[in-house]
Structure 1
Amino acid sequence: MSTRAITGDQWVVLRVPISGEGVTAEVAAFAARRQLRYDLGDDGTLRITDPESARVIVTVRWKTLPPQVPRTLGFQLPSAAAVDVLIDPGPGLAAGRIAAALHDALSGRALAYTDGELEGIRAAMPLLERYSAARPAFDNWALIFRDHYLEHSTGFVLAMERAGIPAEWIFALDKGDRTWNRERVHATFQARGYRSDVLDNTAVNLPHAHGDELARVGADIDAFLDAAHTAGRRVLVVDDGGLLARGYGAIGAPRTADAALELTVSGIKRIAAAGPLAIPVLNLARSQVKSRLGYREIADSCMRRLQALLPDRKLIGRQVLLLGYGTLGSRLAAQLRGLGCRVVVVDSDLPALIDAAESGFTTYRTAGQALAATSPFIVVGTTGERALSDADLDLLPDGLVLAPFATRDFCALTENAVHRGGASDIPGVGMRFALDRGRRVTLLGNGRSMNLFEADSIPNEGYDAYRAGTFIAAASLCADPGRVPAGLHTAPADDAIAEAGLWSAYYDLYAAQGKGAVRPPTVPAPRLADLPAPVPF
């Protein structure tokens, strides 16, 4: 919400996806809530006035716009209506505050996904739609969901609500990345009655520096857990390790969830550092559906984002230094080589390094060795840990580009107060750091996963199978949490996904050949009534 007034010389124009009649109705309702007078002039101008003095407090004008570009990854036909709304405050601080409040009210209408947009997201995730019918497995459960605020995340949480978890028992937490439509996701969740907040990865990784933030969010999580348990509900956590690392699954913790699904490798590392678990946790980070399908889509999103942020740079034939040859790094190495880049690989894990060498890549044990022996144009980070040391920074050539696809790879720059204080922001691109000897390096994004920097990352169809697999694993765990012992487990998730027929459904939808094959949805996405019926499991 706005914390300051809009002054008379700061009139604002707001674009909202509603009709002029909708604007008029919203302004009238706003005036009524504040016991102000509302008038509609013959010229279509809306005025909010003081009922006693008749002084004009805020003047509102609007105009209808031609069809607009989609505000989601997909598009809908016909295009949604849209108008530009000019909010012009009268003189004085009080008028400015009322204008700011009206701006917030109209923004709320502008931000939340429309029904048509939500239907488009659902229809673009046909596998999730197929499995997410209401089912008894979720009776008397509550959900805490922590992940990036993306369209496919929205689709997943709506599927959990559709499957039987009431809106008032859903608590969503954003991981803090600057994803494209994060404000829209937040507004949509709130409009549906979910709790929605931020538990930033940076706060989880550096708790000593974010005590106030963690205390506030932690108090809300505690209250949600207490309320759910008092109401006789068990709590499922779908997370990347942030909550479990904070103790909500640990032996001896004052409060714990009842079951959890872990989504990321970085989360697995945080869980391991937090100590023994008191609850069953299914490891989706290492599941077959993420390893075989999800990481292909993640790697593709990384490559697309790299090229989008460097539209004027030549990549073909250039030397690239890749830090980390794990599940993501190995796929990126192959894609970069396919593009024509000369790829140099660094990994501290010798089996991974041997794999890279025997796949034909030039390899080094350390970043320092690689930087001393080569002249890369780009350094790509995929480790999720500190990948460049302070000594390595002395070896970076002038003009180098740093491309992080995991958190903290380049924290030697981003977490160093001196380096960070001298950095220059490049809006929409990243940061430029000035090093000694006149060297300058450009960090794409904000030092976190740059495929999530002001982007929506993976296509909804691309993550559909992984979200469907996560849903299936959640339903299986919630149906009988007692059958899985406390600790971290991968096999129960893989087994549930296979038994539900997801692999067959995926193949039929996207890979099968012949006239009898089931084709992927067309664009625009089909109406929900045209999608396959849910499959019981």
Structure 2
Amino acid sequence: MTTPGCCLLVTTEFQASPDEAALLLQSHARRLADLGANLQPTGTHSYHLTLAGGGSATLAMTGPADARSRPAATRNLVLLVEDRGGTTPELLASVIRTAEEVGFTGTESAALHAQLPLTLGLAADYRAARPLAGIALIITGHFVTDLIPMVDAAIDLGVPADAITVLRKEYAYRMRRRIDASLADRGVAVFPVGKTIEGVRDHARRAAAKGLRCLAVDDGGYVLPALLTDAAEVLAAYIGVVEQTMSGIFKLEPFPELPLPVLTVAQSRLKGTIESNWIADAAIFNIMDLLPDEKVEGQPALVIGYGNIGAAIAAILRDRGMRVAVHDRDLVRLIAAHETGFTTGQHLPALLADHAPLLVIGTTGRTSMTAPHFLALRRDCFLASVSSRDTEFDLPRLAAAAVSVVDLGNIGYRYELPDQVDVTVLADGYPVNFHQADSVTKSHSDLICAALMLGACVLAHPRHGFADGHNVTRTDHVLEASGLLAHYYDLYGPHSTSPAIGRSLNPARYRPRPLGLPLPEILVEASP
């Protein structure tokens, strides 16, 4: 957290043992010295800094003011810039960034690992076989905390840490600085998704230098479209893609002939059946958190898209007392929504005008609202996306139609349309379930993370049996034959004895253990 003003206060909270906290303070003091700061100890846990240009600051390690108000072992790394002096803005920004970039401590990593027993259990099963040895892995990732255990699992499975690349989605993640630092601590390369072309090229170059084959675990269809267009010269270095979102599947539609196998977790029964409720819960929680003063009971809402996630969101909104309408271009889904008791309509502009929703949630993974739809709005309303990227709503068209656009900070932007209609786009049009949060909890995301890592292990096998293009049936068989679902049911079914909060607070007891999963070659040979 950074507090602006004539003085600058930067506070980064973390959990650590006393020894870890002391080492972390020393490490950050050295990093600030590398930036040219002159450091003088002022106590056991603090330094006075003289910055180039005459600025002065204090770096200190503190505990919370009220220990009972925060988790056990909570510490704060505090940077207080008392006087900026003649310190340049660029240097000051580097000093602040250094204070914010606190990698996860051993205490925190153990707690994170304990919350992903399937992903880390899979890694424990396969650690000796090292099925990803010989692979350079590129991961498109949300910068939420489960990314770190997933990267650690890949390393356990045989990928050299410096042969991993993460393509970072540019959402408003609460832990972004800390995850950046944790990846840097491991030697992992990071590129923003806006530089996917450079990322896939650099990844192929580094893989070739190590004699490794490239494999992608994608989230949103970034890697393969890049390889089929601007980075086609490195396509031959890649052997396959594991894709986890329907948005990514849609991004592949312009390419009827795919030259690589796609293990499509996105279209699997495992993901489609189990994940939707978690995503829906996270989305509604974050929407209500952004709008604490809004009374939604009795108000109209509209859900665009009645797939698994859209259906779950519509049900939650109705349970909260909202009057819910649904639109879907697919007539089968629209009829399903109608026969579930929702107001429905085939013509979206008419439904927007007649239902006059206070809240519109887009879940299609495509662009669901554009100019004619914005002009059909009859009242002030909020738009929220639960799709990858910021393409669910045609924001350039919305901006063009607006009389003015107002920045509302962490809430998003308000577009003031003619006829005194204000449209507030939450989370800047990015998926609201990831806005300044971890989206679904780590225990929820564990099954999908494990499925993605299992998919990577299978595609790395030379006789994986996946044809070029989409492999929905074979993906289902491999995932369901793996035993992951049986272990998930044991963990969270009717006879569960290990609560997630217990694993988080007592990680030593719930250290991830081998699951006894069949090796990838057995799954491959058993698949039809």
Q: Same fold (TM over 0.5)?
A: yes
Residue 368 in 1 paired to residue 357 in 2? no
Of the three residues 232, 235, 238, the one matched with 2:217 is 238
* Corresponding residue number in structure 2 for 1:107: 100
Q: TM-score, normalised by structure 1?
A: 0.84
Does residue 483 in structure 1 map to residue 465 in structure 2? yes
**Structure 2 counterparts to residues 278-297 of structure 1, below 5 A:** 278-297=259-278
d(CA) in 2 for partners of 1:218 and 1:85? Answer: 37
Alpha carbon RMSD of aligned pairs, Å?
3.3
Q: Return the match for 2:135 from 131, 141, 158.
A: 141
Partner residue, 1:452: 434
Identity %: 25
1:81-480 → structure 2 map (5 Å cutoff): 81-89=75-83, 91-93=85-87, 101-108=94-101, 110=102, 112-133=103-124, 134=127, 135-200=129-194, 214=195, 217-239=196-218, 240-247=220-227, 254-256=234-236, 257-406=238-387, 407-408=389-390, 411-419=393-401, 422-480=404-462
Partners in 1 of 2:232 and 2:90 — Cα distance? 48
Contact conserved, 2:117 with 2:513, CA < 8 A, in 1? no
Contact preservation (8 Å) 2:261, 2:466: yes
User: Contact 1:383–1:409 (CA<8 Å) still a contact in 2?
Assistant: no
The letter for the 2-side match of 1:14 is V
Matched ranges for 1:65-76 at <5 A: 65-66=63-64
Partner deviation per Cα, 1:413-468 (whole Å, 9 max, x = no partner): 44555357821111221211110112212222211211112221101111111111
Q: CA deviation at 1:185?
A: 1.4
1:15 aligns with 11
The 3-state SS of whatever aligns with 2:254 is helix
Q: Please, what TM-score do these two structures have when normalized by structure 2?
A: 0.85
Partner Cα distance (2:104, 2:324) in 1: 41
Q: Which moved more, 1:232-241 or 1:469-478?
A: 469-478
Amino acid at match of 1:261: V
Look up the SS of the partner of 1:164 in the other structure: coil
Contact preservation (8 Å) 1:247, 1:274: no
The aligned residue for residue 508 of structure 1 is: 490
Give a deviation string over 1:158-209, Cα, whole Å, max 9, x none.
2111222111010001122222212221221111110012104xxxxxxxxx
In structure 2, give the amino acid aligned to 1:187. A
SS of 1:530's equivalent in the other structure is coil
* Distance of aligned partners of 1:23 and 1:288 in 2 relative to their CA distance in 1, 3 Å threshold: closer
SS at match of 1:60: strand
With over 3 angstroms needed to count, the CA separation of the structure-2 counterparts of 1:363 and 1:508, relative to structure 1, is same
The letter of the residue matching 1:178 is A
Paired AA for residue 265 in structure 2 = L
1:13-52 matched pairs, under 5 angstroms: 13-16=9-12, 17=14, 25-26=26-27, 29-30=30-31, 33=34, 38-40=39-41, 46-47=47-48
Q: Is this contact kept in 1: 2:405–2:413, CA < 8 A?
A: yes
Equivalent position SS for 1:434: strand
Unaligned runs of 5+ in 1: 1-6, 201-213
In 2 relative to 1, CA 44–442 (structure 1 residues): closer, same or farther, beyond 3 Å?
A: closer
- Per the TM alignment, residue 242 of structure 1 is displaced from its structure 2 partner at its CA by 0.8
Give the whole-Å Cα distance in 2 for the aligned partners of 1:227 and 1:183.
25
Give the length in aligned residue pairs.
502
Q: Deviations over 1:82-134 (max 9, x none)?
A: 2433234574347x7665544443333x3x22221121111111121221121
Question: Following the alignment from structure 2 to structure 1, what is the Cα–Cα distance between the partners of residues 297 and 277?
Answer: 21
Q: Residue 279 of structure 1 contacts residue 487 of structure 1 at CA under 8 Å; is this kept in 2? A: yes
Give per-residue Cα distances to partners, 1:486-512, cap 9 Å, x unaligned. 111122322222222111111111113
Distance in structure 2 (CA, Å) of the matches to 1:409 and 1:98: 36
Q: Deviations over 1:203-254 (max 9, x none)?
A: xxxxxxxxxxx4xx42342122123134221111000211111125999754
| Native 8 Å contact 2:131 2:460 kept in 1 | yes
Q: 1:98 to 1:151 in 2, by over 3 A?
A: closer
Q: Secondary structure at the residue paired with 2:410?
A: coil
**Contact kept in structure 1, 2:280 and 2:312, CA below 8 Å:** yes
Q: Once the two structures are superposed, what CA deviation does each residue of 1:388-418 show, in whole Å capped at 9, x if it has no partner?
A: 2322222212322222222456533445553
Query: Does the CA contact (< 8 Å) of 2:360 and 2:384 recur in 1?
Result: yes
Q: Residue 440 of structure 1 aligns to which amino acid in structure 2?
A: D
Q: Distance in 2 between matches of 1:35 and 1:395?
A: 58
**Any unmatched runs of 5+ in structure 2?**
519-528
